Chain A
C-alpha cells in the first residue's frame, strides 16, 4: 500500500517539475513586468534598478532555482496588478472557491446519482425520458449561459436571490465562510446550481450508462438464474459494480468543477480564485498566472492520486494486481 503511494508520488514529481518550468518560463519571459509596474514613462535607469530589484538580470538557471526555492517557501511573487503578494491573494480567495466547489459537487452528487440509478433501472418510464431530455439540453448549455439565465429569472425578475457577490461572510482564522449567514447562503444558491448543473447531468448520464452496461453482464444473468430478487440484483450486484468506475470519473470531475468555477465566478462576480485568474489574464498579470498554473498542477496531481487510492480501496481485484505491480 505504502509502496503504491510512494510510486505514484514519484511519478508525479517530473510532471510538477515540467509544469514548474513552464510556469517559470512564463514568469521570466512573457510580458514586461517593468512596463506594468512602472507604467508607460520610465527612464532607463529606473528600468535597470527595477530589474535588479526583481532579480531579472541573473542567468536563467539561477532564476529558475530561485523561483523553485521561493515557491517551496510559499513565495509566489507579487501581483503586477494589485501589488500584493500572490500567496496572500490566493489564501484570501481560496475559501470562496472551495466553498462554492464543495456545494456544487454535493448538489451534483445528491441529484445526479439517484437520477442516474433510476433512469438506468426504469429506462422507459416517463420520468426517465424527461430526465434524459433535460440532461441532453444541460450538456449543450454553456455554464455561463445557465448562470445568466438563473440571474435573469431569480435575481432580476423574481428578486429572490442576489445576482452577484458572496453576501456576508464570517471570518474564522484565515478562512472566510459564507455558510453561517443567511445572506451568505442565499448568495451561494445560484452559483452552486450553475456550477453543479453540468456535473449533475454528467454524473446522471454516466451512472445510467454504467448501470445499463452492468445489467447486461453474465453475472447479472446468473443472479437472475439463481432467483435473486430484483431488489437484490439492482441495488446489490448492479449498483455496486456501477459505482466502481463511477467513483473514478466523479473524482476526476472535481477537476472540471475547479475549471468551470472560473466561468461561474465571472458571471456572479464571486470573489474566488477563478475570478482572480480571469482578471489577471485580461491584464497580463504574469505572477498570478504562473502561480495559478503551479497550484492547479499540484491540485490535479493530488486529486488523481486520491482517486486512484479510492479505486484501489473499492475494487478488490485491483488490490492484488496493484500491490504486485508496485513491488
Chain B
C-alpha cells in the first residue's frame, strides 16, 4: 500500500462519528471481500429484489388473486404473454381458476419468506438459549440438553417438521387448523432446526467460558444470566449467524416441501410450495406455467440466500484469508 493511502486509512480510522464508522466498515475485510466477490454482490441484489417485491406485493402485484370477486373465469387457463393465446394483462398466465400467476407468485413469495425467516429466528432463539445454558452451566444440564439435541439430530429435519406438523394438524379441530396453519408451520420448522444452533452455540460457549474475562466477571460478582447475555453471547454469535444464513434457504425449502405435500399452507393462503402443488395437477395437460414460474421464483430466492451464506462463511473463515 502506498504511503498516501496508508495515511488516508489512518486518518479515517481516527475519525469519530457515523461517517468515521461507515468509512471503517467500508474498509473492513468483510466489506472488501463483499465488494470484490461478484457472486456475493449479484446474489445480494437478487435477494434484495425478491424480498422487496414480495414485501411490496400488495402494491405492485397487478391483480389480487385472492379477491374472488375480481376473478374473471373466462380468463382462466391462459398461457404466459409471450406464447400464443396469452395477453399482457396476465403476463405469466393464469391457472384454472383465473388467478394471475405473477400476482400469486408475489403474494406466495411473501408468505414463503415470512415463514422461512420467522422459523429460523425461532430456531435461533431456542438454540441460543439452550446452547448458552448448556455450555455455561455444564454438568448434567449440559449432558441432558445435548443428549436431547443429539437424539433429534439423528432424524432429518424435514421428517421432524412433517411429523410435528402432521400431528398438530390432526389433533386440532378442522375449522381451527387452517387459520393457525402458518403458526404451526413456523413452529414445526423451527423445532426441527434448533439442535444445530444449540450445538454450535454450546461449543463456542464452552470455549468462551474458560476465558479470563468470564472469570473476571464472576469475580466482580455479576449474576450468571448477566454474564451469559452481556459477555458471552456477543462472542458466540459469529459462527451461529453464518449457520443461520445457510439454514434460511433450507427453512424456505422445508416450508415449500411441506406445502407441496399438503400439510403446509392451504390454497386459500398459498405459499410458493402450495402453488406448485396446485399446479402439479395440470402439467399433464400441458399447463406448465403454473408450476414452472413459482418454481423458478422459489429457486432464485433460495439460491441467492445460499450463495450469500456461502460467501459469508468463506469470508469469515480465518484460515482461508
Interface residues of A (CB under 8 A from B): 15, 18, 26, 30-31, 136-137, 139-145, 148-149, 151-152, 156, 163, 252, 255-256, 258-260, 262-263, 266-267, 278, 281-282, 284, 286, 289, 293, 296, 300-301, 304
Task: Compute how far the CA of A170 lies from the CA of B113 in the bound complex, rounded to whole angstroms.
Answer: 46
Q: List 11 A-B contacts (CB under 8 A).
A: A136-B303, A139-B249, A145-B295, A260-B158, A262-B159, A262-B261, A263-B261, A278-B263, A289-B163, A296-B155, A296-B159
Residues facing A in B280-321 (CB within 8 A) are 280, 283-284, 286, 288, 291-292, 295, 298-299, 302-303, 306-307, 310
Shortest Cβ distance from B156 into A: residue: A259
Interface residues of B (CB under 8 A from A): 151, 154-156, 158-159, 162-163, 166-167, 169-171, 249, 253, 256-257, 260-263, 273, 276, 280, 283-284, 286, 288, 291-292, 295, 298-299, 302-303, 306-307, 310
**Contact partners of A255 in chain B: CB under 8 A:** 154-156
Contact present for B303 and A140 (CB under 8 Å): yes
Task: Compute how far the CA of A255 lies from the CA of B158 in the bound complex, rounded to whole angstroms.
Answer: 11
Chain B CB within 10 A, most for which of A15, A137, A148, A252: A148
If A136-B307, A278-B262 are given as contacts, then 8 extra A-B residue pairs at C-beta distance below 8 Å, sorted by A number, are: A18-B151, A136-B303, A137-B299, A145-B299, A148-B291, A259-B156, A278-B261, A289-B170
Contact present for B256 and A156 (CB under 8 Å): no
Task: Compute how far the CA of A18 lies from the CA of B155 in the bound complex, rounded to whole angstroms.
Answer: 14
Chain A CB within 10 A, most for which of B155, B280, B303: B155
Task: Compute how far the CA of A152 lies from the CA of B276 in the bound complex, rounded to whole angstroms.
Answer: 13
For the complex formed, measure the closest distance between the CB of A114 and the CB atoms of chain B, giving whole angstroms: 23
**Contact partners of B163 in chain A: CB under 8 A:** 289, 293
**Contact partners of B291 in chain A: CB under 8 A:** 148, 152
Given contacts A144-B257, A286-B170, contact A156 B283 (CB under 8 A): yes
Shortest Cβ distance from A282 into B: residue: B262
For the complex formed, measure the closest distance between the CB of A304 and the CB atoms of chain B, giving whole angstroms: 6
Neighbour of B310 across the interface among A30, A136, A137, A266, CB < 8 A: A136
